[in-house]
A and B are shown apart, each in its own frame.
Chain A
Amino acid sequence: MVVDLEYMAGLVPVILRYVPLTLEMAVISMAIALVLAAALAIVRVLKVPVLDRIVAVYISFFRGTPLLVQLFLFYYGLPQLLPAARSIDGVTAAVIGLTLHFSAYMAESIRGAILGIDRSQWEAGAAVGMTELQLMRRIILPQAARVAAPTLLNYFIDMIKSTSLAFTLGVTEMMGAAQKEAAGSFRYLEAFLVVALIYWAIVEALSFVQRRMEVRLARAFAR
């Protein structure tokens, strides 16, 4: 038989052990990236002097270069400049890289959602004497979050898949584990198929959550 199903079945529990690491990297990166992205978006929307220009360059760089290149820059390149960076392990480097990379994309979708909020919402907040930050936090961001949520969840899905790049920084995550197994058995097809199927299952589960969320969000603020 071309594909050794029995070998694959035996491999599943081995690879599954690395799912928590994958999710851990993705969840931590996502949590930090969300906060960062909201801050970046606010700086851009409010056109904060100087910071606005810096953020524009930041977003342009992290959207304009491949994630793999960014990860290599942080992990292999940075220690040359900052010797202290040598102590950063692969997982941390991956989390930093994923966070910065995805925060740039997420900032743009949050910014788009903010700009889509009706002008009357800003005016109503201004008229009662709210500061821009109060307005942003209490009125604009909650509404923008609702608009941006499906897109942000898409980025989270993308992020989960992108954790596989941590493999290139020497992290033994799902890909790394599969690589090691296959190196002994020469069953590369089976090993990587198992990895693919596990990723697929995780993403499908999340897509289910996403569909449920969209239905709920459509009902929000309509009681």
Chain B
Amino acid sequence: MSGHAGIRIEGLTKRFGERVVLAGIDLAIAPGERIVVIGPSGTGKSTLLRCLAFLDRPDAGRIAVGDLVVDAARASRRQILALRRRTAFVFQNYALFANKTARQNITEALTVVKRMSQAAADAGADAILAEIGLADRGDAYPAALSGGQQQRVGIGRAMALEAELMLVDEPTSALDPEWVGEVLDLLERVAAHQTMLIVTHEMQFAREIADRVLFMDGGRIVEEGPPEAIFGAPQDPRLQAFLRRVG
């Protein structure tokens, strides 16, 4: 289900104009590993995820997913598509296809990108709808779903891809507090058999789910380690200050 050969990121760099948002990120992710990225706003956490899926185009660096190696500076259209097809993305604002039902949101990529038959895709979607607790809402359009339901469909859409790496960008930041729990519960279940890179402000969740926590500041990974170390014995003063602020 999850990754095979792991993911390697080397020297990933991104500038917006003069501003350096990613100042050379190096990171290796083992198959099945769950990595949570924390840090102050505007330190490049989301940009890191977006660059890995080329939603923002990185300026330099290398991304390797299994046997696919992409040199950011000269990535071809074909390579970008290939990379995107090996990753799945869960968006902060859900970004469900507005003209597709919940079920179609899940099947769309399966039939169009993976060229699965409609019947097979529908069967897969029904299984996922049941897993995300929306078995009876498959025919609903996103506009008719609550924020929590929409994000669960967003996660279901990503699950269906059986990607080697799932990128999860602040999955609960846009949610009303009442829906946060159900989304985090689902993510925790999915993470049991999925390689994941998650950006979140939910520290309790990070503590529970992460094999490894990265603390980013100023476009760099400042400190990393298992959650017990990061939250229990933070070394860098910036991390200490950050943890004091977020309580």
List the interface of chain A (C-beta within 8 A of B). 118, 120-121, 123-131, 134, 138-139, 142-143, 146, 221-223
CB <8 Å contact, B140 and A223: yes
CB <8 Å contact, A130 and B113: yes
Interface segment, one of B21-29, B67-75, B95-103, B204-212 = B95-103
Q: Which residues of B contact A134 (CB under 8 A)?
A: 112-113
CB <8 Å contact, B112 and A143: no
**Cβ-closest chain B residue relative to A125:** B97
Query: CB of B144 within 8 A of chain A?
Result: yes
CB <8 Å contact, B157 and A128: yes
Point out the residue from A121, A127, A142, A146 that lies within 8 Å of B84, measured CB to CB. Answer: A127
List the interface of chain B (C-beta within 8 A of A). 53-55, 81, 84-85, 87-89, 91, 93-101, 108-109, 112-113, 139-144, 157, 161
CB <8 Å contact, B84 and A129: yes
CB <8 Å contact, B97 and A121: yes
Contact A127-B88, Cβ < 8 Å, known A120-B95, A138-B108: yes
**Cβ-closest chain A residue relative to B82:** A129
Main secondary structure of the interface of A (DSSP, over half): helix
Point out the residue from A121, A128, A139 that lies within 8 Å of B161, measured CB to CB. Answer: A128
CB <8 Å contact, A127 and B98: no
Q: Which residues of A contact B100 (CB under 8 A)?
A: 139
**Cβ-closest chain A residue relative to B55:** A123
Cα of A129 to Cα of B98 in the assembled complex, Å: 18
CB <8 Å contact, A142 and B113: no
Cα of A142 to Cα of B101 in the assembled complex, Å: 13
Cα of A222 to Cα of B141 in the assembled complex, Å: 6
CB <8 Å contact, B89 and A127: yes
Cα of A177 to Cα of B222 in the assembled complex, Å: 83
Q: Which residues of A contact B53 (CB under 8 A)?
A: 126-127
Contact A130-B109, Cβ < 8 Å, known A222-B141, A223-B139: yes
CB <8 Å contact, B144 and A138: no
Cα of A128 to Cα of B144 in the assembled complex, Å: 23
Contact A124-B144, Cβ < 8 Å, known A129-B81, A134-B112, A138-B112: no
